Amino acid sequence: MNLPSKITICEVGLRDGLQNEAKILQTSEKLEIAKDLIDAGFKVIELGSFMSPKAVPQMADTDELYKQLNQVDEVELRALIANKKGVERAINCGCRKVKINVSASRGHNLANLNMTPEESVAGFKEIVDMAAEHGIEVSGSISMPFGSPWEGKIPLEDVQSIVEAYLNVGVSEISLSDASGMAVPNQVYEMCSKMKERYPQVKWWLHFHNTRGMAMANIIAAMQAGMTQFDSSFCGLGGCPFVPGAAGNVSSEDVVHMMDEMGIETGIDIVKLIELSKKVRQMVGHDTDSYILKAGRSKDLIKK
Amino acid sequence: MNLPSKITICEVGLRDGLQNEAKILQTSEKLEIAKDLIDAGFKVIELGSFMSPKAVPQMADTDELYKQLNQVDEVELRALIANKKGVERAINCGCRKVKINVSASRGHNLANLNMTPEESVAGFKEIVDMAAEHGIEVSGSISMPFGSPWEGKIPLEDVQSIVEAYLNVGVSEISLSDASGMAVPNQVYEMCSKMKERYPQVKWWLHFHNTRGMAMANIIAAMQAGMTQFDSSFCGLGGCPFVPGAAGNVSSEDVVHMMDEMGIETGIDIVKLIELSKKVRQMVGHDTDSYILKAGRSKDLIKK
At residue A214, φ and ψ (nearest 5 deg) are -105, 5
Calpha distance A278→A268 (Å, rounded): 16
- Note whether residue B3 is domain-resident: no
Calpha distance B170→B190 (Å, rounded): 25
Calpha distance B92→B4 (Å, rounded): 39
Axis-axis angle for helices B252-262, B270-284 (nearest 10)? 160
For residue B217, what are the β-bridge partners? none
Q: Identify the pLDDT of residue A113.
A: 86
Calpha distance B21→B37 (Å, rounded): 19
> Which long-range contacts does B20-25 make (Cβ < 8 Å, 24+ apart)?
B20/B58, B20/B237, B20/B238, B20/B239, B20/B248, B21/B58, B21/B237, B21/B284, B23/B283, B23/B284, B23/B285, B24/B57, B24/B58, B25/B58, B25/B283, B25/B284
Q: Identify the pLDDT of residue A192.
A: 98
Calpha distance B37→A174 (Å, rounded): 44
Whether residues A302 and B149 touch (CB distance < 8 A) is answered with yes
Please state, as a whole number, how many other Cβ atoms lie within 10 Å of the Cβ of residue B248. Answer: 25
Reduced to 3 states (helix: H, G, I; strand: E, B; else coil), residue A204 is strand
- Note whether residue A2 is domain-resident: no
| Residue B304 binned pLDDT confidence (cut-offs 50, 70, 90) | low
Range of the domain at B178: 8-301
> Span B35-54, mean pLDDT?
97
Q: Identify the pLDDT of residue A304.
A: 63
On chain B, the residues whose CB falls within 8 A of the CB of A211 are 291, 295
Please state, as a whole number, how many other Cβ atoms lie within 10 Å of the Cβ of residue B111. Answer: 12
The ipTM, to two decimals, is 0.97
Out of A213, A221, A257, closest to residue B212 by CB: A257
Q: Please report, rounded to a whole number, the percentage of residues in chain B having pLDDT higher than 70.
A: 100
Distance of CA B280 to the CA centre of its chain: 18
- Give B129-183 as a DSSP string: HHHHHTT-EEEEEEE-SS-BTTTBSPPHHHHHHHHHHHHHTT--EEEEEETTS--
Calpha distance A44→A39 (Å, rounded): 12
Q: In sequence order, which residues have a C-beta less than 8 Å from that of residue A51 and are 6 or more positions away?
A: A59, A80, A81, A82, A86
Q: Identify the pLDDT of residue B72.
A: 81
Cβ(B182)–Cβ(B144) below 8 Å: yes
Q: What is the pLDDT of residues A73-127, one digit of tens each?
A: 899 999 999 999 999 999 999 999 999 999 999 998 998 889 999 999 999 999 9
Q: What is the pLDDT of residues B149-197, one digit of tens each?
A: 999 999 999 999 999 999 999 999 999 999 999 999 999 999 999 999 9
Closest CA to A68 of A26, A99, A13: A26
Q: Identify the pLDDT of residue B12.
A: 98
- Give A129-196 as a DSSP string: HHHHHTT-EEEEEEE-SS-BTTTBSPPHHHHHHHHHHHHHTT--EEEEEETTS---HHHHHHHHHHHH
> Span B21-30, mean pLDDT?
97
Whether residues B295 and A246 touch (CB distance < 8 A) is answered with yes
Whether residues A298 and B221 touch (CB distance < 8 A) is answered with no
* Residue ranges in chain A modelled with pLDDT below 50: none
The whole-chain average pLDDT of chain B stands at 96
Q: Identify the pLDDT of residue A166.
A: 98
Closest CA to B207 of B187, B231, B223: B231
Q: Which of B10, B95, B192, B240 is catalytic?
A: B240
Q: Identify the pLDDT of residue B134.
A: 98
On chain A, the residues whose CB falls within 8 A of the CB of B144 are none
Residue B292 vs residues A59, A234, B274: alpha-carbon distances, Å: 31, 22, 8
Nearest chain B residue to A152 by CA distance is B302
SS (H, E, C) B90-115: HHHHCCCEEEEEEECCHHHHHHHHCC
Q: Which residues of A are catalytic?
A: 240
Whether residues B258 and A224 touch (CB distance < 8 A) is answered with no
Cα dihedral A85, A88, A92, A94 sign: positive
Radius of gyration of chain B (CA): 18
- Note whether residue A1 is domain-resident: no
B240 assigned to active site: yes
B29: CATH: 3.20.20.70
Alpha helices in chain B (DSSP H): 27-40, 62-69, 84-93, 106-113, 117-123, 125-133, 156-168, 185-198, 215-224, 252-262, 270-284, 291-295, 298-301
Strands A8-11 and B203-208: unpaired
Closest CA to B181 of A163, A216, A113: A216
For residue A79, what are the β-bridge partners? A48, A98
Cβ(B227)–Cβ(B192) below 8 Å: yes
Reduced to 3 states (helix: H, G, I; strand: E, B; else coil), residue B10 is strand
CA angle B219, B180, A220 (to 5 degrees): 35
In total, chain A counts a number of residues equal to 304
Calpha distance A186→B213 (Å, rounded): 19
Report how far apart the first and last C-alpha atoms of chain A are (Å, whole number). Answer: 32
Reduced to 3 states (helix: H, G, I; strand: E, B; else coil), residue B79 is strand
Q: How far is A262 from chain B (nearest CA, A)?
A: 6
Cβ(B248)–Cβ(B289) below 8 Å: yes
Out of A147, A184, A216, closest to residue B213 by CB: A216
Out of B148, B220, B245, closest to residue A220 by CB: B220
Q: What is the pLDDT of residues B61-92, one digit of tens each?
A: 999 999 999 778 899 999 999 999 999 999 99
Q: What is the pLDDT of residues B203-251, one digit of tens each?
A: 999 999 999 999 999 999 999 999 999 999 999 999 888 888 899 999 9
Closest CA to B175 of B161, B151, B192, B158: B192
Alpha helices in chain A (DSSP H): 27-40, 62-69, 84-93, 106-113, 117-123, 125-133, 156-168, 185-198, 215-224, 252-262, 270-284, 291-295, 298-301
Cβ(A218)–Cβ(A183) below 8 Å: yes
On chain B, the residues whose CB falls within 8 A of the CB of A192 are none
Nearest chain A residue to B300 by CA distance is A149
Whether residues A150 and B303 touch (CB distance < 8 A) is answered with yes
Out of B185, B187, B263, closest to residue A220 by CB: B185
Q: How far is B17 from chain A (nearest CA, A)?
A: 18
Calpha distance A35→A54 (Å, rounded): 27
The number of folded domains in chain B is 1
On chain A, the residues whose CB falls within 8 A of the CB of B212 are 254, 257-258, 291-292, 295, 297-298
